[in-house]
Amino acid sequence: MKFLVIDDSATMRRIVVNSLKRIGYEDCVEAHDGAAGLAAFDSSVGFVITDWNMPNMSGLDFVKALRASGDGKGVPVLMVTTRSVKEDIVLAAQAGVNNYVVKPFTPQVLKEKIDQALGAVAGKA
């Protein structure tokens, strides 16, 4: 499965991609903000992992735009962010995020949330 990893921090992108490879997902494309993420997204992407706070287009705006597009309506989206205020988490859920990981995370938590998001999307299909 192809992952799209969006984060303005190059360090975090490397850590997420490394964690994905460790749990068996080798195919990853990266983007440095929401706008670049939208440009990089196509029907070949099977899972999106996005940060929230980014320049140009935030992760929240990215998810809203993605959900409004044809190909992006059903793709699982995991938000990986430092934002942990309840109102923010609720906003993310309302925007169409399938699961949520608070930084700093462990690879185990990342895997657990990816599996849950994939399971939920498969259940709906």
Partner 1 sequence: MSAPSDRSGLALHDSEATLRQVESALDEFSGSAGLLSFEEMVTDLEGHPAGLRDLVKLLIGTYTEIMAVIESLRQSRGLLEQAAMDRLKSTHEKLAEVSSATEVAAAGMLDGLDRALGLVDELASDGPDGSPSPDVPSASAGRTETADQLREELHQIMNLLQFQDITSQQLGYASGVLMDIEERMMRLVRVFDLQKVGMDELRDVLGEDRSEPGPRTQAQETCDPDASTLEAEERQALADEVFTSS
The answer to whether the CB of 61 falls within 8 A of the CB of 34 is yes
Sheet of 45-50, strands arranged across: 28-31, 2-6, 45-50, 77-81, 99-102
Measured CA to CA, the distance from residue 64 to residue 62 in angstroms comes to 5
**Does position 44 bind partner 1 by CB under 8 A?**
no
Q: Which of 39, 42, 44, 55 binds partner 1 (CB under 8 A)?
A: 55
Using CB under 8 A as the binding rule, whether residue 100 contacts partner 1 is answered as yes
Q: Is 82 in the site for partner 1 (CB under 8 A)?
A: yes
* Separation of alpha carbons 35 and 105, rounded Å: 25
Candidate list 4, 5, 6, 8; residue touching partner 1; CB under 8 A: 8
Span interacting with partner 1, options 4-12, 42-50, 65-73, rule CB under 8 A? 4-12
**Residue with the two structure tokens 């903000």:** 33
Polymer length of the chain: 125
Candidate list 22, 26, 44, 69; residue touching partner 1; CB under 8 A: 22
- What residues line the site for partner 1 (CB under 8 A)? 7-9, 11-12, 14-15, 18-19, 22, 52-55, 58, 81-86, 89-90, 93, 99-107, 109
